[in-house]
Chain A
Amino acid sequence: MGTPSSLPVAAATAAPTRDRAGGAGWRHVAAAVGAFVLLTGLGAVAPKWLTFLMTMAAGNGLVSLGIVCLMRGGVVPFGQGMVFAIGGYAAALFYNRLGFTDAIGLALAGGVAAVLIAAPFAPLLSRYRGIFFAMLTLALSMVTYGLLMKLDTFGGSDGFNLGRPTLLGMKLPDDKVGFILFLVTAGFAVVMAALARIYFDSTRGLVTLAARENELRVEYLGGSVRQAMAINFVLAAFCGGLGGALVVMALGHIEPNFSFWTTSGEFVFVAILAGWHSVVAVFVASTVLEVVRSFSSSYFPNTWQLALGIFLLLVIRFLPKGIGSLWHRERK
């Protein structure tokens, strides 16, 4: 397969993309900075439980962002719990065993660990589509779950705790911990969202979208669908690991359940709720799910599963293209 830059479709998209990326790139950076400022303001005035909820939403949203990355290519991974757990365990283990406590460093460590462990599976997984892709990823995440349950050095089924992280060498004061961890998580979310938007609009991002429509055509035109899929899988792994590490730091606890199929299912649901057009929609969707979960627990302690199930059905039925379709205009 030739390199994209030497062939018609790639050339056609390359030039305008580069121009567009130039202008759009700055727009995205500005949007990201603006979003971060807004979130800082929100976090400063919000009650503690809301800040925590938004931290979890942002962390979980990162994993769903990775899923959207793959969904644009037409495959839906049902096993992102695996990279979520790997990121979380890596961060927790670095903290406890190596004494490395910097929040930003731990987050990045989580992302990198997830990439290192997931990457060998990428070439294999990139060959499959549809239900088989979903099932293979599901099986891998359940094997990870089984391993984590069995290994006592990783805490076994109870998991283990980690203490308060530090930030750039500074200890975090008692009353500001939640807010600062929220800022770190939101910061990563905003940065990854901007990068994702830039990536989606780039050549490879568009090849992915094209592969969703018609893989054969893309192959004929010289793009490598397998390569695109493999790269998307690795990127999704990074996002998932990042999210896992951030969530673990906010929670202070990690357990094998992070890799269970129901956890993966919730990430997929958020991705579907968001749709694959808008990156912001992913985090909005993640927040919506957290809010619904939180309030159905309070108002329906005996029937929260019923409430959540009905909510899922309504969303899947009435928002087929996800929340993102509410404000995204298909660019022709």
Chain B
Amino acid sequence: MQTAVTILIDGLTYASWLFIVALGLTLVFGVLKILNIAHGSFYALGAYAAASFVSWAAALKWAPAFSIVAMMLAALAVAVVVAPLTERALLRFFYGRDEVLLVLVTYALFLIMEDLFKLVWGTNPYYVSEPYALFGNVSFGRQTWVGYDFALVALAVVVGLAVWWVLNRTKAGKVTLAVIHSAEVASSMGVDVSRVYIAAFSVGIFLAALGGAFTAPMISVQPGVSVGVIIVSFAVVIIGGLGSIQGAAVGALIVGLARSFAVHVAPVAELFSIYVVMAVVLMFRPEGLFQRTQARRI
């Protein structure tokens, strides 16, 4: 009984982390049709930015509770400054070309950002520890969890609902949905598609940076942080379906619970279980579980 509850809780907390981290990736693909390999790099940028912002907040003598605000501001700063810059100065030159070409462009971006991080922040590790202790501990039976992990679950729910609500219940969101369905038709209806692209890309980057910022308290921020995230976000997004919010949520839950189960029951299988699930989904339902974009079949 204890084990079952533990597996569920672990699956849920890991799934929440996955969801926050992967949501931006699926959004960017849905709107701009770009599979952003540099997604992990924006995640790392969020983590580094959070490290800087939280240390500034500490220097300004903010209360520890406000370190959460500092982290949000860090993610926001990344989105507001870096995202439009990347989109205007780089990505827009490649729109309309092969989707796979754009994958290579984002791969080049990933390489560039790795070294830029070293140049700006150096190779020493950064710690963002104040927020981690803010929420105390939660115990159940013999297990103790850090309250912060549950706060992440709450954050995931809030973020997911917010994105869903904006897309489905606001005018800007509906315009975005129109662009997702067909950029050409939307453009001919008078929608400024390039503005929608900038906005959607910025939101996608904000979410990636948010993931990084909120993960920073539980890791040491140093070179190489982006690498582990890319494949796992990619898997979640494929399973759930590119461009689908519900898909990202369900994909995250599936991966989270599968991994949790593997770790508790059969740790040996953990390494490539994620790849196998991804491959199986792709073979039988390549659009993912919640189709948004149709996989062209002949």
Chain A interface residues (CB < 8 Å from chain B): 76, 78, 124, 126-132, 134-136, 139-140, 142-143, 145-147, 149-150, 215, 219, 225-226, 261-262, 265, 268-269, 272, 302-306, 308-310, 312-313, 316-317, 320
Contact = CB atoms under 8 A, between A and B. Distances in A.
Most buried by B among A129, A136, A150, A219: A136
B282 A127 contact: no
B174 interface: no
Given A132-B295, A142-B231, A265-B104, A308 B111 contact: yes
Given A269-B104, A312-B107, A317-B93, A150 B271 contact: yes
A226 B118 contact: no
B101 A140 contact: no
B271 A316 contact: no
A291 B105 CA distance: 20
A129 B294 CA distance: 10
25 contacts: A129-B295, A129-B296, A130-B100, A130-B295, A131-B99, A131-B100, A134-B100, A135-B286, A136-B282, A140-B279, A142-B272, A143-B276, A146-B272, A265-B103, A268-B100, A269-B107, A272-B101, A272-B104, A302-B118, A303-B115, A306-B112, A312-B105, A313-B105, A313-B112, A317-B94
Contacts of B272: 142-143, 145-147, 149-150
A261 to B, nearest CB: 8
Contacts of B238: 135, 139
Interface hub of B116, B242, B275, B283 (most chain A Cβ within 10 A): B275
Contacts of A145: 272, 275
A128 B97 CA distance: 18
A316 to B, nearest CB: 6
A132 B279 CA distance: 11
A320 B283 contact: no
Q: Report the 3 A-B pairs with minimum CB-CB distance, sorted nearest first.
A: A146-B272, A309-B111, A306-B115
A305 B110 CA distance: 9
A78 B100 contact: yes
B108 interface: yes
Nearest to A137: B282
B114 A136 contact: no
Given A146-B276, A302-B115, 9 more contacts: A131-B99, A131-B242, A134-B103, A143-B275, A305-B111, A305-B115, A308-B108, A310-B108, A313-B109
Interface in B54-102: 90, 93-94, 97-101
A143 B238 CA distance: 15
B119 interface: yes
B83 to A, nearest CB: 18
Nearest to A141: B275
Interface residues of B, number: 41
B297 interface: yes
A316 B108 contact: yes
Contacts of A127: 297-298
B152 interface: no
Contacts of A129: 295-298
A330 B105 CA distance: 27
A134 B103 CA distance: 10
Contacts of A316: 94, 101, 104-105, 108
A143 B100 contact: no
A272 B101 CA distance: 8
B101 A78 contact: no
A310 B97 contact: no
Given A143-B276, A147-B272, A149-B271, A130 B99 contact: yes
Contact of B110 (A126, A309, A310): A309
A302 B123 CA distance: 11
Contacts of B94: 316-317
Tell me which of B94, B107, B109 has the highest count of chain A C-beta atoms within 10 A of its own C-beta. Answer: B107
Contacts of A130: 99-100, 295-296
A305 B231 CA distance: 19
B278 interface: yes
Contacts of B108: 308-310, 312-313, 316
A185 to B, nearest CB: 26
B35 interface: yes
Contacts of A149: 271-272
Interface hub of A135, A262, A265 (most chain B Cβ within 10 A): A135
Interface string B253-294: 000000000000000000110011011001100110000000
B92 to A, nearest CB: 11
A308 B111 CA distance: 7
Contacts of B109: 309, 313
In the complex, which of the residues B33, B108, B282 has the most CB atoms of chain A within 10 Å of its own CB atom? Answer: B108
A310 B275 contact: no
Given A147-B272, A305-B114, A316-B94, A268 B279 contact: no
A78 B286 contact: no
A268 B97 CA distance: 15
A139 B99 contact: no
Contacts of B98: 76
Contact of A76 (B100, B114, B286): B100
B276 A225 contact: no
Given A128-B286, A128-B297, A313-B90, A306 B111 contact: yes
Nearest to A134: B100
Contact of B275 (A134, A136, A146, A272): A146
A304 B98 CA distance: 27
